[in-house]
Amino acid sequence: MIHFFTKGDISGATARYRGFLVAKELNLRGYETLVHEPPRWRPFFELSRARLKELQTNFKALLSVGSGDIIYLVRTVYQYDFFLLIVLFKIIFRKKIIFDFDDPIYLRNGLKSKMIILTKLADAVIIGSHHLAEWAAKYNKNVFIIPTSVPLEKYSNHTKIYRESGEFVIGWLGNAPAHRENLKNLIPVFQELINRGLKFKFILVGSLGDKKIYDIFRRLDGLNIQFVDSIAWENPEIIASQIQKFDIGLMPLLDTEWNRGKCAFKAIEYMACGVVPIVSPIGENVFLVQDGENGFLAKTAEDWTEKIKNLYENKECLQLVGRKAQLTIKNNYSFSANIPKIMAIINAL
């Protein structure tokens, strides 16, 4: 049996796509899987009955891991008690461990030492980007790059059909408060597009009622914007139905150490629906997007403006590039492409 322990519940993207849905896909292929209740984050010095009860629950869960079973950790380093239990079970009971993560969380305060220890102890490390692989390879020889993947059939049910007429929609989807600084990069771009007379609508999915996000864009005169605070994130088809409204999907990133380790998942979701992505050439984006083939790379505000304008004027290009984008996901970023790679890792252990 493969025992999954995730950071958070199914509403979180990492837990959903690298934990819950991977467990489901493995189960469909004949593997016995179990996703345990995720350990909650608690302050280091918290003393409570609830904490003691959770420690007991997690201890029993780990005791249930049989001799031939595998512990599959999905970014599970935040809860101190659970981290100590994992170390204990690895050292004393020699349990097999797969450690999976998709962001450079070793940059976060207090997490680097735990990340190093888990990476060293793991029998295999699965990560989502080349940048993360370089870091993990310093501590473990058994490192595998497997991008965050999608159940493509759920997204292809909402494949974008481009039409010559109709409103031109620019979209962004994700946790907007966590991307506030990245999103600010769009303001001069949108201002220039408005100045040039382009008629477009911007749909921002995931504003989460954040006043600062509202203020960033509402200060821009003439911007036609729709905020979608939240959706049923646990349902891939609901996500895809939102993306289908976009003509192009944006992924602006500042050039930071954190962003260099990100796994391009936002663009992956756009592309899975056949929506053309325009992304910053940062981190894993440059491995996913081939400029002018399956999407577009934009570095400066001028790049962003020109590439959006060119697509605004060429729906035929959108249709062609969108189909190539979706084929990229089918071949390299879908569960059908990548679950067999995870199965091979499991079988080897």
pLDDT, tens only, 83-107: 999 999 999 999 999 999 999 999 9
pLDDT recorded at residue 320: 95
Predicted confidence (pLDDT) per residue in 288-298, tens digit: 999 999 999 99
pLDDT recorded at residue 348: 96
Query: Span 138-155, mean pLDDT?
Result: 97
Looking at the fold, whether 274 and 131 belong to one and the same domain comes out as no
Query: Could you count the other beta carbons within 10 Å of the beta carbon of residue 141?
Result: 8
Q: Where are the beta strands (DSSP E) in 118-173?
A: 124-127, 143-145, 168-173
Looking at the fold, whether 112 and 189 belong to one and the same domain comes out as no
Looking at the fold, whether 160 and 145 belong to one and the same domain comes out as no
Closest to 33 (Cα-Cα) out of 23, 18, 22, 19: 23
| Measured CA distances, 107 to 6, 114, 116 (Å) | 19, 11, 11
Residue with the bigger pLDDT between 45 and 103: it is 103
Q: Is the pLDDT of residue 148 over 80?
A: yes
Q: What share of the chain is helix, strand, coil (3-state, %, to 5)?
A: 45, 15, 35
Looking at the fold, whether 27 and 60 belong to one and the same domain comes out as yes
pLDDT recorded at residue 109: 84
Average predicted confidence (pLDDT) for the chain: 95
Query: Span 214-234, mean pLDDT?
Result: 95
Confidence of residue 79 (pLDDT cuts 50, 70, 90): confident
Looking at the fold, whether 161 and 132 belong to one and the same domain comes out as no
Side-by-side strand order, sheet with 33-35: 33-35, 2-6, 70-74, 96-101, 124-127, 143-145
Domain count, the chain: 2
Q: Is the pLDDT of residue 44 over 80?
A: no
pLDDT recorded at residue 110: 85
Looking at the fold, whether 280 and 141 belong to one and the same domain comes out as no
Query: Span 169-182, mean pLDDT?
Result: 97
Q: Which sign does the torsion angle of CA 269, 274, 279, 281 carry?
A: positive
Looking at the fold, whether 179 and 324 belong to one and the same domain comes out as yes
Q: Is the pLDDT of residue 268 over 90?
A: yes
First to last CA, the chain: 12
Looking at the fold, whether 164 and 310 belong to one and the same domain comes out as yes
Looking at the fold, whether 191 and 328 belong to one and the same domain comes out as yes
Looking at the fold, whether 39 and 93 belong to one and the same domain comes out as yes
Closest to 275 (Cα-Cα) out of 203, 180, 196: 203
Closest to 295 (Cα-Cα) out of 259, 314, 268, 316: 268
Query: Span 323-329, mean pLDDT?
Result: 98
Report the alpha-carbon distance of residue 59 to residue 81 in Å, rounded.
10
0.85 cut: is pTM over it?
A: yes
Q: Is the pLDDT of residue 259 over 90?
A: yes
Domain that holds residue 220: 152-332
Confidence of residue 156 (pLDDT cuts 50, 70, 90): very high
Confidence of residue 208 (pLDDT cuts 50, 70, 90): very high
Strand partners, 72: 4, 98
**What tokens does 182 get?**
């990245």
pLDDT recorded at residue 37: 87
Q: Is the pLDDT of residue 341 over 90?
A: yes
Query: Could you count the other beta carbons within 10 Å of the beta carbon of residue 59?
Result: 15
Provide the b/e sequence for 243-274 (b: ≥16 CB within 10 Å).
bbbbbbbbbbbeeeeebbbbbbbbbbbbbbbb
Looking at the fold, whether 103 and 56 belong to one and the same domain comes out as yes
Looking at the fold, whether 129 and 91 belong to one and the same domain comes out as yes
pLDDT recorded at residue 7: 92
Q: Are 234 and 19 in contact (CB under 8 A)?
A: no
Phi first, then psi, for residue 123 (nearest 5°) are -80, -25
pLDDT recorded at residue 270: 98
CATH number at residue 216: 3.40.50.2000
Q: Is the pLDDT of residue 42 over 80?
A: no
Query: Span 70-76, mean pLDDT?
Result: 96
